[in-house]
Amino acid sequence: MDTSKAIGIIITNPEFEDVRSLEGVAPTKNPCVPIIAVPTTAGTAAEVTINYVITDVEKERKFVCVDTHDMPIVAIVDPEMMSSMPKGLTAATGMDALTHAIEGYTTRAAWEMTDMFHLEAIRLISQNLRDAVENKKSGREGMALGQYIAGMGFSNVGLGIDHAMAHTLSAHYDTPHGVACAMFLPISMEFNREYTGERLREVARAMGVEGVDNMTQEEYRDAAIAAVKKLSEDVGIPTTLDKIKEEDLDTLATDALNDACYPGNPREATKEQVIEMFRMLMA
């Protein structure tokens, strides 16, 4: 879907022939050729977002293009198309969707309308991802809907440092996008916790944690992060990546801070802090 967006944009805006010139918000003049998007994973929501992500294999970086002209004219979101996904791909792409919903709910520009989408997406994904991994029909349906609703949210407000670090990790080590997002999710939530007001209470509630109204701020923040860790563990997401090398850390952190998703993060990070977050994944 992302590749079709880039091709569709270049066909109607040939002055951007080099896809690298489209990074960030590009001043394209024309809508892309009509795209009918049919997702076969339940994760990216690219069928409904204004973003596409391209990997520059020469420079070992992934970059995000943001352009309202790339929006597909029709999205066909059919859980049947997702039923052939193996367990690992279902888990990884589903955790990408959960990351969209949680990052979108705590991003700087979040507001009432996108909160509504993100909280419902968190609820649907938390309720259905385990069943989708078991290829149950209701799980597939819940995930098809949850990932789509998350896209309706984050496409309007952006994401944060989790996606910035995940793009960098995938570009350097070919880590699947959803796995990278999921490994960083508890780490980025912990990093941002003091900058999220009461939002992690609502994340915990949407994830099915009971008694959140009787918890202290520290307790509900811990509970939200614990619920994410538990879901990740239940669907088999690893917590470490042995490919990360000490000598790469400086470049990884620099690339993450230059990613288009980073400015949406509620907390500013220094390069040293980003290096520390990458280091947490080292086996």
Ligand X SMILES: NC(=O)c1ccc[n+]([C@@H]2O[C@H](COP(=O)([O-])OP(=O)(O)OC[C@H]3O[C@@H](n4cnc5c(N)ncnc54)[C@H](O)[C@@H]3O)[C@@H](O)[C@H]2O)c1
By CB under 6 A, name the binding residues for ligand X.
Answer: 2, 40-41, 43-44, 46, 49, 51-53, 82, 84-85, 89, 93, 96, 177-178
For Fe ion, the closer of residues 159 and 244 by Cβ is: 159
41 binds, among Fe ion, ligand X, none (CB under 5 to 8 A by kind): ligand X
| Smallest gap from residue 17 Cβ to ligand X (A) | 21
The interface partner of residue 40, options being ligand X, Fe ion, none and the CB cut-off 5 to 8 Å by kind, is ligand X
Residue of 96, 103, 120, 255 that binds Fe ion (CB under 5 A)? 96
**Burial environment of residue 70 by CB neighbours within 10 A (0 to 12, 13 to 18, 19 or more):** buried
Least Cβ distance, residue 36 to ligand X (angstroms): 16
**Considering beta carbons, is residue 96 or 202 the nearer one to Fe ion?**
96
Tokens standing for residue 88 = 């690992």
CB of 257 to ligand X, least distance (A): 18
Strands 51-56 and 24-25: unpaired
Give SS3 for 29.
Answer: coil
Residue number with CB closer to Fe ion (103 or 120): 103
Listed ranges 92-100, 217-225, 236-244, 252-260: which one lies at the site for Fe ion (CB under 5 A): 92-100
Question: Do the beta carbons of residue 53 and residue 62 sit within 8 Å?
Answer: yes
Q: Residue 243 corresponds to which tokens in the numbers above?
A: 């490919």
E strand segments, the chain: 24-25, 36-37, 51-56, 61-66, 74-75
Provide φ and ψ at 55, rounded to 5°. -100, 125
- Does residue number 47 form part of the binding site for Fe ion (CB under 5 A)? no
Residues binding Fe ion: what is the number (CB under 5 A)? 1
Identify whether the C-beta of residue 242 lies closer than 8 Å to the C-beta of residue 166: no
Residue 52 binds which entry of ligand X, Fe ion, none, CB below 5-8 Å type-dependent: ligand X
**Residue 74 zone, left/alpha/beta (φ > 0; ψ -120 to 50; rest):** beta
Binding stretches for Fe ion (CB under 5 A): 96
